[in-house]
Amino acid sequence: MKKIRIGLLMIFSIGIVFLLAFLVTQKPLKTLKTESTSEKKEIVDTAKMANLTIVGDFLYEEPYYDALKNGEDENLYFSKVKKYFQNDDLSIGNMEVVIGNDNLKPSGSNFSFCAPESVGRQVVGLGMDVLSTANNHSNDRGQEGRNSTIDFFANNSNILTVGTFKDERDILKNIKTVNDIKFGFLAYTYGTNIKIPAELRNKIGLYRDPDGKDHGQYEKLMREEISTMRKEVDVLIVIMHWGVEFTYTPKEAERNLASMMNALGVDIIIGSHSHSIEPIEWIKSDHGETLVYYSMGNFVSADDDISRTGETFDNAYQMGLLSTLQIEKDKNGIYIRDVQTTPIINYFDENMRNFQLVPLDEYTSDLETSHFRYKYNFDRNFIENAYETVIDSEFRKK
């Protein structure tokens, strides 16, 4: 019996030696830091929160291209706003120009817009994540222009373009997961300046009939796509190019569309097209809550004198909103918190040079008085009055 015990002991000892040798030669497992209960909760909460930045139109126009041709540093334009995009998790805007290629030459005038690839690189460098490409300029260079825009951002960045389609109309490609929160994006426009041929209308998000005959079929498709996306994501964001230009007030049609989207479960609606800021509001109903930005106004623009409007909206054209907010996800649902905005001034001097986007709290008296439109009453008083009149205090920067 003793011999048996000794034999078993030797076998056991040899087994231990081999096991230790095996462990020594393996890569160590990832060390997990032990946290207190409160620290663990903080880690979980942080993993299920996302900070968003929302801006308006990237509307590149001829005067800015002229400035670049005359040696302007393209890094100047975003230098004062880039900080907002460096620490966020998701940024969203409206790309209101197509990106050209060797066959599509740049243009920034006569309501026909095609930006060079250098502009695309500038937008990529800002740190954008999602761009709507559904707006009234989506057909300025036809399907080739839409495809060129989609291809540029797909090949040169991680930016998701939504609202136009190169191949099949697959809306479920428009999903991004950020910090364990699944975001879905849809984008629609009332139409395009150059009417899209009937056979290509499935290549762009339209909520109205370009022929003005059967708006119902387009709204039906929009409802179906919203309902489909709603089932797949935690947060549903719809970007709308709607309404009329040069007004601070959304029309009844926009409010009706917003109510319809609220009933379908849309969480956030981001509007554009007016080239001026419009109100922000909550729609609250039995269906839930929807945050609506009726219009963010321009982010990028370069028109000093707009022939089809008067002084007030010539000036309103030079400012837009930048909004930040936080999305929180827990076991009970999704919460939109800490919604704030700040006015962004599109600055250019009396010679239409030195373009830069300037947050209101950095808009010095020197910048104010040297702005091209200062002599036309575009001053701090105009900016603050428009901001405080149009945007409810709940959403203004604290």
Q: Average pLDDT for residues 170-197, to the nearest whole number? A: 97
Q: Average pLDDT for residues 242-270, to the nearest whole number? A: 98
Q: What is the CATH number of the domain that holds 84?
A: 3.60.21.10
**How far is the C-alpha of 314 from the C-alpha of 361, rounded, in Å?**
22
- The region that residue 34 occupies, defined by phi over 0 for left and psi between -120 and 50 for alpha, beta otherwise, is beta
Please give the share of the chain, as a percent, with pLDDT higher than 90: 84
Q: What are the pLDDT digits (tens) for 286-323?
A: 999 999 999 999 999 999 999 899 999 999 999 999 99
Q: Average pLDDT for residues 103-126, to the nearest whole number? A: 92
Q: What is the pTM of this model?
A: 0.88
Tell me, rounded to whole angstroms, the distance of Cα 280 from its chain centroid.
16
Q: Average pLDDT for residues 333-339, to the nearest whole number? A: 97
In degrees rounded to 5, what are phi and psi of residue 24? -65, -35
Secondary structure, 3-state, the chain = CHHHHHHHHHHHHHHHHHHHHHHHHCCCCCCCCCCCHHHHHHHHHHHCEEEEEEEEEECCCHHHHHHHHCCCCCCCCCCCCHHHHHCCCEEEEEECCEECCCCCCCEEECCEEEECHHHHHHHHHHCCCEEECCCCCCCCCHHHHHHHHHHHHHHHCCCEEECECCCCCCHHHCEEEECCEEEEEEEEECCCCCCCCHHHHHHECECCCCCCCCHHHHHHHHHHHHHHHHCCCCEEEEEEECCCCCCCCCCHHHHHHHHHHHHCCCCEEEEECCCCECCEEEEEECCEEEEEECCEEEEECCCCCCCCCCHHHHHHCCEEEEEEEEEEEECCEEEEEEEEEEEEEEECECCCCCCEEEEHHHCCHHHHHHECCHHHCCCHHHHHHHHHHHCCHHHECC
Q: Quick one: pLDDT at residue 110?
A: 82
Q: Quick one: pLDDT at residue 58?
A: 98
Q: Is the pLDDT of residue 384 over 70?
A: yes
109-112: long-range contacts, CB 8 A cutoff, minimum separation 24: 109/61, 109/62, 111/137, 111/193, 112/137, 112/140, 112/193
Tell which wins on pLDDT, 168 or 382: 382
In degrees rounded to 5, what are phi and psi of residue 52? -110, 145
| Of the listed ranges 103-112, 188-197, 266-275, the one predicted with least confidence | 103-112
Cα dihedral 241/243/246/247 (nearest 10): -130
> pLDDT band at 398, cuts 50/70/90?
confident
**How far is the C-alpha of 272 from the C-alpha of 93, rounded, in Å?**
9
The residue with tokens 């808009």 is 363
The two structure tokens encoding residue 222: 């929009």
Q: Is the pLDDT of residue 354 over 50?
A: yes
Q: Quick one: pLDDT at residue 130?
A: 99
Q: Quick one: pLDDT at residue 277?
A: 99
Q: Is position 172 within any domain? A: yes
Q: Is the pLDDT of residue 166 over 50?
A: yes
> pLDDT band at 8, cuts 50/70/90?
very low
Q: Is position 164 within any domain? A: yes
Q: Which residue range forms the structural domain that includes residue 346?
A: 39-395
**How far is the C-alpha of 184 from the C-alpha of 206, rounded, in Å?**
18
| Of the listed ranges 44-58, 249-263, 324-338, the one predicted with least confidence | 44-58
Look over the chain and give the mean of its residue pLDDT values, rounded to a whole number. Answer: 90
Q: Is position 32 within any domain? A: no
Q: Is position 361 within any domain? A: yes
Q: Is position 244 within any domain? A: yes
Q: Report how many domains make up the chain.
A: 1
> pLDDT band at 374, cuts 50/70/90?
very high
**How far is the C-alpha of 160 from the C-alpha of 150, rounded, in Å?**
9
> pLDDT band at 26, cuts 50/70/90?
very low
Q: Average pLDDT for residues 198-227, to the nearest whole number? A: 97
Q: Average pLDDT for residues 318-329, to the nearest whole number? A: 98
Q: Quick one: pLDDT at residue 256?
A: 98
The residue with tokens 């004198």 is 305
> pLDDT band at 235, cuts 50/70/90?
very high
Q: Which residues are within 8 A (CB) of 60 and not within 5 positions of it... i.e. 6 or more apart?
A: 97, 108, 113, 115, 119, 300, 302
**How far is the C-alpha of 254 from the C-alpha of 113, rounded, in Å?**
26
Q: Is position 5 within any domain? A: no
Q: Is position 1 within any domain? A: no
Q: Is the pLDDT of residue 25 over 60?
A: no
The two structure tokens encoding residue 369: 């008085």
Q: Is position 162 within any domain? A: yes
Q: Quick one: pLDDT at residue 107?
A: 87
